[in-house]
Amino acid sequence: MATTIHHLNCVDIQSPGYGAAVGHCMLLEHTDRLVLIDTGTGLLDAARPDERMGRQLIELTGFRFDEQQTAKRQIEALGLDPGKVTDIVLSHLDPDHTGGLADFPQATVHVSEEEYEAFKHGNLRYLPAHLSHQPPIRTYAAVPDTWLGLEARRLDISLEPDLFLVPLFGHTAGHCGVVISTPGISIFYVGDAYYLREELRNPRHPVTNLARMRAENDNLRLDSLGKISKLIYENPALVIFGYHDPAEFAKFNQRKVL
């Protein structure tokens, strides 16, 4: 049976310095189960934003909250059962990617080992409350396997298509892209490796300053951008998009079947 991909915008950012941004999550629908890739902000964030996210972070980033924009409410609007979300794949553990985790308390969380270790060691960019419901967590360490020349960590999810975490470190210590791979088409979701695709073409774009400031390791961030640029050049038919770019979300905001 085919897998249907639903593209969901689960974040509304109106940044005072950098304009609008989205949170481009994906919902994979296959037979009687659902898999979510990143979660955006959640119901608790919308109900108690200051308590969950903190007023300073909200004002600095420009978060806006709407219960109907959460992944759970959008899944319901699609006529699907949020209780069938069995797995959640996270590019990394920044709060605008993890806010909705508590809305799917039984789902197994899949994340790189490096990212989870950084989270456990108290990096202040993360919000421990977002994992306080203690979900089952599956971490993935480095492997020799590759996909188009990049390290690829196969996810332990029984699903067609195959799913992989691809390290794109720099933004955070264990930030990864996510590959959705079938014989006919591959999608490479690069998370926050860039905020706007324009960064690949114009390294002097104003948002680059924000990307540099938010990077745990800017040299690794730049290395990840180089990997993405090389991949695009060598594989022009490859579908690539990130998390925050409104133009990319507008392009892919249609249901797609693999």
* 255 has a pLDDT exceeding 60: no
The widest CA-to-CA distance across the chain, in whole angstroms, is 46
What number is the average pLDDT over the span 123-149?
96
Domain 4-257 in CATH 3.40.50.300? The answer is no
What pLDDT, in 10s, does the model give residues 20-30?
999 999 999 98
What's the pLDDT at 256? 61
What's the pLDDT at 60? 83
HEC-encoded secondary structure of the chain: CCCEEEEEEEEEEEECCCEEEEEEEEEEEECCEEEEECCCCCHHHHHCHHHHHCHHHHHHHCEECCHHHCHHHHHHHCCCCHHHEEEEECCCCCHHHHCCHHHCCCCEEEEEHHHHHHHHCCCCCCCHHHHCCCCCEEEECCCCCEECCEECEECCCCCCCEEEEEECCCCCCCCEEEEEECCCCEEEECCCCCCCCHHHHCCCCCHHHHHHHHCCCHHHHHHHHHHHHHHHHHCCCCEEECCCCHHHHHHHCCCEEC
Locate 40 and state its tokens: 């955006």
Mean pLDDT, the chain, whole residue set? 93
What pLDDT, in 10s, does the model give residues 169-203?
999 999 999 999 877 778 999 999 999 999 999 98
* 219 has a pLDDT exceeding 90: yes
What's the pLDDT at 203? 84
Better-scored residue on pLDDT, 71 or 158: 71
* 252 has a pLDDT exceeding 60: yes
pLDDT band at 6 (very low <50, low <70, confident <90, very high): very high
Beta bridge partners of 109: 88, 137
Q: Residue 178 to residues 13, 83, 115, 181, 216: CA-CA distances in angstroms?
A: 23, 23, 14, 10, 20
What pLDDT, in 10s, does the model give residues 103-119?
999 999 999 999 999 99
Contact criterion met (CB below 8 Å) for 229 and 240: no
